[in-house]
Amino acid sequence: MSLEKRIKKNYDLTSLTTIKIGGRAEYFVLVKNKRELIEAVNWAKTKKLPSLFLAGGSNTLITKKKIGGLVIKISGENYTVKGNIMSAWAGTGLTRLAQIAFDHGLSGLEWALGVPGSLGGAVRGNAGAYGSDISEQVSEVEAYDAVKGRVVRLSHRACAFSYRHSVFKERRNLYIVNVRLKLSQGQAAEITNSAKKNLRSRIKTNPKEPSAGCIFKNLEYKKLIKENYRLAEDLSAQRLFRGGKIGAAYLIDQLGLKGQARGGAKISERHANFIVNSGGATAQDVMNLISLIKKKVKARYKINLEEEVQYFDN
């Protein structure tokens, strides 16, 4: 079917986010491969409309009731495995890729089992868990540069990865289409056991209600020491840093904020860095809780929490 025929108007995005909070897209289209993605971005460009991406919708809070422009939903899966190199379409699910890696006796994605969302979304936000992140495996990224109108290749270095960050958060004209991961050969049983252990811990700690994952980034010792020296030293003396970071959840929990609710949104009782939709939550309810947490943390600890969740607010 032609692109024009596939584009839908005034499309409800609620079911496309894991927190189940939506808005209506002026135009909406689903793309399953590089060709369709480029076609959609160019269509919006010709119409002088902004294009916004939604993949797994698991790190996104849609804050507006009406989203102007074209929302491009990346879906589908496509991958190849050659030796220890896995190459995949950005829309491929991260958990699915982790399972494929295990089936091939490849190590490197044990942390990713159970992380919802796509490979492209993971690369953009440098997703990670259990002391690892996707940047450790990324060797090259293919992206469509909407300004240049062509596909470009970025080396690992050019991706400028840091904690939950990459060049793709800064250069909004770059749309990730394909990612090459360099994994290592390992023992299938060991890989699976380690991944299953992580998954068990995830099931125990993550809330069951709809959420958008962790709302705030964890705190890095090297940054915290500049913002509040005494706090950093105090937390360090209590041996609370793991891999140079302390969970934002720890501070939120210390403030007794678990269970606080605004409308249908609630700070999870299970994990203080998650805000869950306990029924009928609006983006405003979630934003109210985010601002409550930020205010309380600032007042008590004299530091600013930084959002990990991405606002979708064109």
Ligand X SMILES: Cc1cc2nc3c(=O)[nH]c(=O)nc-3n(C[C@H](O)[C@H](O)[C@H](O)COP(=O)(O)OP(=O)(O)OC[C@H]3O[C@@H](n4cnc5c(N)ncnc54)[C@H](O)[C@@H]3O)c2cc1C
Q: In residues, how long is the chain?
A: 314
70 is a site residue for ligand X (CB under 6 A): no
Total residues binding ligand X (CB under 6 A): 31
Buried b (16+ CB within 10 A) or exposed e, 279-304: eebbbebbbbbbeebbebbeeebebe
62 is a site residue for ligand X (CB under 6 A): no
**Closest-approach residue to ligand X (CB):** 121
Residue number, 41 or 232, with CB nearest to ligand X: 41
158 is a site residue for ligand X (CB under 6 A): no
Residue number, 139 or 228, with CB nearest to ligand X: 139
118 touches 56 (CB < 8 A): yes
- Report the alpha-carbon distance of residue 85 to residue 80 in Å, rounded: 8
92 is a site residue for ligand X (CB under 6 A): no
125 is a site residue for ligand X (CB under 6 A): yes
Among 124, 159, 214, 262, the active-site one is 214
- For ligand X, the binding residue among 51, 59, 166, 268 (CB under 6 A) is 59
User: Which is it for strands 310-312 and 60-62: parallel, antiparallel or unpaired?
Assistant: parallel
Q: How far is CA 134 from CA 101, 116, 121, in A?
A: 13, 14, 11
Residue number, 23 or 213, with CB nearest to ligand X: 213
262 is a site residue for ligand X (CB under 6 A): no
Q: How far is CA 251 from CA 46, 67, 240, 258, 271, in A?
A: 47, 34, 11, 11, 11
18 is a site residue for ligand X (CB under 6 A): yes
308 annotated active-site: yes
74 is a site residue for ligand X (CB under 6 A): yes
310 touches 165 (CB < 8 A): no
23 is a site residue for ligand X (CB under 6 A): no
Q: Which of residues 24-43 bind ligand X (CB under 6 A)?
A: none
Among 124, 142, 159, 164, the active-site one is 164
In a 10 Å sphere around its CB, with 0-12 CB exposed, 13-18 middle and 19+ buried, how is residue 237 labelled?
Answer: exposed
The amino acid sitting at 313 is D
Residue number, 4 or 170, with CB nearest to ligand X: 170
248 touches 217 (CB < 8 A): yes
Catalytically active residues, by annotation: 164, 214, 308
List contacts with ligand X (CB under 6 A): 18, 53-60, 74, 90, 115-118, 120-122, 124-125, 127-129, 168, 175-176, 206, 211-213, 310
